[in-house]
Structure 1
Amino acid sequence: MDVISTDNLPPGERFDFWRDVSAEVFVPYDLRCDPQLEREFQGRIDVGGFGGVQAALITSMPHSVHRTPKLIRQADPEVFKLGCMVRGTGMIAQDRRHADFGVGELMLFDTSRPYVAELHPHVPVSQLLLLRFPRTLLPLPSRDLRKLGAVRLPAAGGVAALSSQFLLQLARSMGELSPADTTRLSTLTLDLLTVALADALDAQAVVPQHSRRRALMAQIHAYIREHLGDADLNPESIAAAHHISLRYLHKLFQEEEHTVAGWIRERRLEQCRRDLAEPGLAGRSIQAIGGQWGFRNPTHFSQAFRSAYGLSPLQFRRQNMAVHAERTGVHTAAWTSLNTP
């Protein structure tokens, strides 16, 4: 992960630096900023690669980006960009279309055609995740994708909602990803982009079967994570929510060498383990933590936890809190309460 920032530059040089960096990382732009903001401008770009997709998390003060015909003639890498607003609001205009966008909403634009994009000035600092990828990377005709330029893909419902959730999570975790994570996520990123854009074009038939299957699994995984606290979460309810047969659901998990119930249990145990290791939750009972993540029976929870991690929930909590206390040198009255479930 590379980080580019204006932090260590004199205020008068920051926006010129930002303009140069944007041209190098993305494509040449005509960047514009309110003169008063320009004198105090601050910005940061966290850049990473996901296979053929470049991901850039942009955190900056308000400004506008103009991709002009002259700049296109100077340099045209023939790439599309897809943005997901993480914080703030913005606007994009291309091919006589105009759209405002907010947090979680997606927008596509073609760098081979003129456009204007803006971070709205009423938000002091905005954050945008921008994916840059060659046209040839998606199995969708460029002429069809251009129909989506400056079209807002809402974050509520459907595949676009899954893509939005995935990209927002990606933005939150970019700085923590290992090389193995980026390799694994590169394929999933492309699959989700392909399916979301094909869905917006009503062209699902052109999406390869393996991409549809992986995107469906990502959607199912996201659904399970969202409903982990529901004790009634089960294969039947998951299959019904995704309009597939129970048999096909089990087949999808078998292809990944998992069972549906086993995958749910593993995710629930991971959440319980995380909460039991959190010092800020020391006052919460073990039974309450298990119940929050779908374990109705405390005995079953304790047995499942021990089977997965080799310690009972109480032993695991004591061990982690002792390490925390040793690191911080802080021993509080809350420590005593940890001896009881």
Structure 2
Amino acid sequence: MLNETVFRTEDLPGADRFDYWCERIGRTHAPLDLYSAYAADYQAHQRVLELGALHVWPTTHQSLRYRRTPKLIRQSDPEQYHIGIPLHGTNRISWGNERAVLGAYQIQVYDSSRDVEVNCTNGADLFSGIGIEIPKRLLHLPQNSMDRLFARGMSGREGFGALLIQFLTQLVSDTSCYLPSDGPRLGTVLVDLLSSLFAHTLEADRALPPETRTRSLVLRIRAHVQNNLHDPGLTPTTIAAAHNISISYLHRLFQGEHETVAAWIREQRLERARRDLADPALGSNTIHAIATRWGFTRAADFTRAFRNAYGMPPRDYRQRALLSPAQASLAVSLSTPCQ
């Protein structure tokens, strides 16, 4: 599991909760002035995931107003950007003479060196979102360009924004499959996604290093494949055409991924089919229907590929996967030779 810390106000006496929450946010992000109408018995939950030099923190809390003041900036400036992504709720933002109202799935950038006031609210319900803290030195865009993104909403429902939120939501939903040593690797992926989103928004892709553009392209290709596994016509040729690159360049990209494009597509399709075969809710679906759903048009090809991947034909796998625990235990005992 990744290095992770968890904070819940419910673990504290009611009168102490808001003060501890303020201290917690000050350590996670930067010192802030905070106010809430619910301060007398505040409800908040935060997890902080360490991804090398980056920190990702999914949070749920009652309505809150915070301000990063010039005085606090002079006292302490971690020289980092804060990326705020509301999932349920709205941010009302004020800085200088400017105002903005940004809602769910709008990705926002704040600078620890600039004063700002943000009112996070979801009415009487809990506000939820994901925050990211990233040192400025890790982004490959000049400061004057980043200033143009300050408190500007970028859509998290399409393009690079959707890729970013897909990555984050999958990451925070289950960290059990990662080791602490995976944190910096995941941090690199996150930096590339953020850099690509910002550069795309600024129309400044040429400011990105070639290796970042390459990793970003591979991420886009993988997302395209995941969204089109059902299409039997999904091939290296159609993938290359969809991304305006040559087939030879596509293959070179995947040489760095230690697998061919076709092999990865087949692996993803088989894994989706395997999950469906083991799902009791899909027990009435024929094996052929499941195979077709994931792009296998020929039953013989699917059976052969499945057996090679999982050591048994799909029918046998399904029968074993759908056995009750008692039936599975009996099957194992019957298949074990007597000593």
Q: Same fold (TM over 0.5)?
A: yes
Match of 1:336 in 2: none
Task: State how far apart, in whole Å, the 2-side matches of 1:319 and 1:288 are.
Answer: 19
Q: Displacement, 1:260?
A: 1.5
CA contact (8 A) 2:14 2:42 kept: yes
Q: Give structure 2 stretches of 5+ with no counterpart.
A: 330-339
1:129-159 Cα deviation digits (max 9, x unpaired): 1110111111222232122110011124433
CA contact (8 A) 1:129 1:171 kept: no
Task: State how far apart, in whole Å, the 1-side matches of 2:176 and 2:116 are.
Answer: 30
CA contact (8 A) 1:32 1:63 kept: yes
Match of 1:243 in 2: 244
Match of 1:141 in 2: 142
Q: Displacement, 1:183?
A: 3.7
CA contact (8 A) 1:306 1:313 kept: yes
Q: Does 2:31 align with 1:28?
A: yes
- Aligned residue for 2:259, secondary structure, equals coil
CA RMSD after TM alignment = 2.2
| CA 1:22–1:241: 2 relative to 1, 3 Å | same
Task: State how far apart, in whole Å, the 2-side matches of 1:165 and 1:82 are.
Answer: 15
Task: State how far apart, in whole Å, the 2-side matches of 1:134 and 1:236 are.
Answer: 39
Q: Displacement, 1:282?
A: 3.0
Task: State how far apart, in whole Å, the 2-side matches of 1:60 and 1:266 are.
Answer: 40
Task: State how far apart, in whole Å, the 1-side matches of 2:65 and 2:317 are.
Answer: 51
Task: State how far apart, in whole Å, the 2-side matches of 1:312 and 1:183 are.
Answer: 39
Q: Does 2:31 align with 1:16?
A: no
Match of 1:118 in 2: 119
| CA 1:77–1:317: 2 relative to 1, 3 Å | same
Task: State how far apart, in whole Å, the 2-side matches of 1:74 and 1:328 are.
Answer: 64
What does residue range 102-117 of structure 1 map to in structure 2 within 5 Å? 102-117=103-118
Q: Give structure 1 stretches of 5+ with no counterpart.
A: 330-341
Task: State how far apart, in whole Å, the 1-side matches of 2:55 and 2:327 are.
Answer: 38
Q: Which amino acid in 2 is paired with 1:110?
A: D
Match of 1:338 in 2: none
Q: Displacement, 1:10?
A: 2.4
TM-score (norm: length of structure 2)? 0.88
- Aligned residue for 2:10, secondary structure, equals coil
Match of 2:272 in 1: 271
Task: State how far apart, in whole Å, the 2-side matches of 1:280 and 1:140 are.
Answer: 48
1:236-269 Cα deviation digits (max 9, x unpaired): 2212222222222122112323221111111111
Match of 2:304 in 1: 303
The runs of at least 4 consecutive aligned structure 1 residues that moved more than 6 Å come to none
Q: Displacement, 1:39?
A: 3.4
CA contact (8 A) 1:29 1:67 kept: yes
Q: Which amino acid in 1 is paired with 2:231?
A: D
Match of 1:154 in 2: 155
TM-score (norm: length of structure 1)? 0.88
Q: Displacement, 1:180?
A: 4.8
Q: Does 2:63 align with 1:93?
A: no
Give me the identity figure in percent.
Answer: 36
| CA 1:302–1:101: 2 relative to 1, 3 Å | farther
Task: State how far apart, in whole Å, the 1-side matches of 2:251 and 2:136 are.
Answer: 35
CA contact (8 A) 1:84 1:104 kept: yes
Q: Which amino acid in 1 is paired with 2:325?
A: A
Match of 1:281 in 2: 282
1:9-34 Cα deviation digits (max 9, x unpaired): 22232212211111122211111112
Task: State how far apart, in whole Å, the 1-side matches of 2:148 and 2:96 are.
Answer: 9
Q: Displacement, 1:48?
A: 0.9
Q: Displacement, 1:218?
A: 0.5
CA contact (8 A) 1:159 1:195 kept: yes
My pick for the range that moved more, 197-206 or 304-313, is 197-206
What does residue range 207-246 of structure 1 map to in structure 2 within 5 Å? 207-246=208-247
Aligned residues: 326
My pick for the range that moved more, 41-50 or 78-87, is 78-87
- Aligned residue for 1:148, secondary structure, equals coil
Q: Displacement, 1:328?
A: 11
My pick for the range that moved more, 248-257 or 165-174, is 165-174
Match of 1:262 in 2: 263
CA contact (8 A) 1:104 1:168 kept: no
CA contact (8 A) 1:87 1:126 kept: yes
